[in-house]
Structure 1
Amino acid sequence: MKNYFQQYRPFFIFLLKFFGVYAGLTIVYEFYLKQFEHPLVFEVDGFTLSVANQVQWVLKTLNYDCVLLLHEHQASVKLILNQVYVSRVVEGCNALSVMILFVAFVVAFSGKWKPTVGFIVLGMVLIHILNVLRIALLSIALYYHPDQESILHGVVFPLIIYGFVFGLWVIWVNQFSNYAGKTAQ
């Protein structure tokens, strides 16, 4: 049994780091979200509201008339594009859960601390920018093709964000992690 744990020690360390960081950050995020849970008031958390405002800025930059309204019956922001209600921005749209997953994986395959922190910060910024652009493009697509909502929202746009994160992970593991150093030798 001892040999078994010794043989697969790197795998167990990876799992411990990954699930430890993932659980820790998820708990912190849940505490953050608890501040906005009120039984009679539908309050949108600050980060989600910020994402909605940034999406509005992108759409206005692309010469679309975009108005944001707080939803009356749920914690979300209605996105009105050219006087048509096309989408709503909810907590799940802010990509923080995707960023938590990204961070947990990078830490689990950690390298030296400075490159690890740098890659995490850069990755989170890039994920955030891509996410804002993704929501803006999804809103435009829904404006022109509302009948394609299920494929656009359920397949195409999640594929973009998760595909990008997967690409970042590949770059991290092959270029910067301790694993990359061992395989290069």
Structure 2
Amino acid sequence: MKWFKPKVGQFILKVLGIYICWYLIYEFWLLPKGSLDAWLTTNIVSISTGILEMFDYEVYASGRFFGIGESPGIFLADGSSGITALGLFVGFVIAYPGKWIPRIAFIIIGIGVIYLVNIFRSVLLAIAQVSWPGFFDFMHNYFTTATFYLVILVLAIVWINIGGEEKKAADETELFPTEV
């Protein structure tokens, strides 16, 4: 079993453990209570409509519901808040080795980036509903979801490269050792 690396296994178990805990807390406590999702989705609607108005779209909004002109509109359900994706991101950053102060700073920055991407996603879906109604379902189910998780993957890669533990200067597996 030379391919098995204990640290990789530990990392995967940590990520899974953290994510499962987050998922259980979200599914059985936060989601039924609904206040966090309601606050976040109405906030996203408010900012999304503000952005659309800046680009001279005629918008309407009510609570978690918004749209452009006479379009059917978009309802941001609980799953549209991005909270489960935030749990995945935070779980990864917590599980990957690194110092705690940069880790906390990166989590805050990452949450902000994911939040902004979710706003962009909502704006794009509202525009798609009016401009490209035939592509709305594809954009909602595949394109924007893939983009959302691609951003999380990029954030994870950034954390690995800037936030992880320092590499040893003289690694034994180095191809070109400096000492002769």
Please report how far the alpha carbon of residue 137 of structure 1 lies from its aligned counterpart in structure 2 after TM superposition: 1.3
* Cα distance change of structure 1 residues 36 and 107 upon mapping to structure 2, 3 Å threshold: closer
* Cα distance change of structure 1 residues 69 and 19 upon mapping to structure 2, 3 Å threshold: same
Please report how far the alpha carbon of residue 17 of structure 1 lies from its aligned counterpart in structure 2 after TM superposition: 1.7
Equivalent residues of 2:59, 2:67 under 8 A apart? yes
- Match of 2:135? 148
- Match of 2:65? 78
- Match of 1:11? 8
Corresponding residue SS for 2:61? strand
Verify: 1:62 aligned to 2:60, yes or no.
Answer: no
- Same amino acid, percent of matched pairs: 24
**Aligned counterparts of 2:116 and 2:169: Cα–Cα separation in 1:** 32
Moved more, 51-60 or 107-116: 51-60
- One-letter identity of the residue aligned with 1:163: L
Per-residue CA deviations over 1:41-66 (Å, capped at 9, x if unaligned) read: xxx72222222222122212222121
Equivalent residues of 1:48, 1:90 under 8 A apart? yes
Please report how far the alpha carbon of residue 183 of structure 1 lies from its aligned counterpart in structure 2 after TM superposition: 6.7
Q: Radius of gyration: which is bigger?
A: 2
1:28 to 25, 30, 34: 25
Query: Structure 2-normalised TM-score?
Result: 0.82
Equivalent residues of 2:71, 2:129 under 8 A apart? no
**Aligned counterparts of 1:66 and 1:8: Cα–Cα separation in 2:** 54
Cα RMSD of the aligned pairs, angstroms, is: 2.1
**Aligned counterparts of 1:162 and 1:69: Cα–Cα separation in 2:** 28
Verify: 1:171 aligned to 2:150, yes or no.
Answer: no
1 or 2, which has the higher strand percentage? 1
Runs (4+) off by over 4 Å: none
Structure 2 residue ranges without an equivalent (≥5):
171-180
**Aligned counterparts of 1:9 and 1:152: Cα–Cα separation in 2:** 40
Q: Give runs of aligned pairs for residues 59-138 of structure 1, distance below 5 A.
A: 59-69=52-62, 77-138=64-125
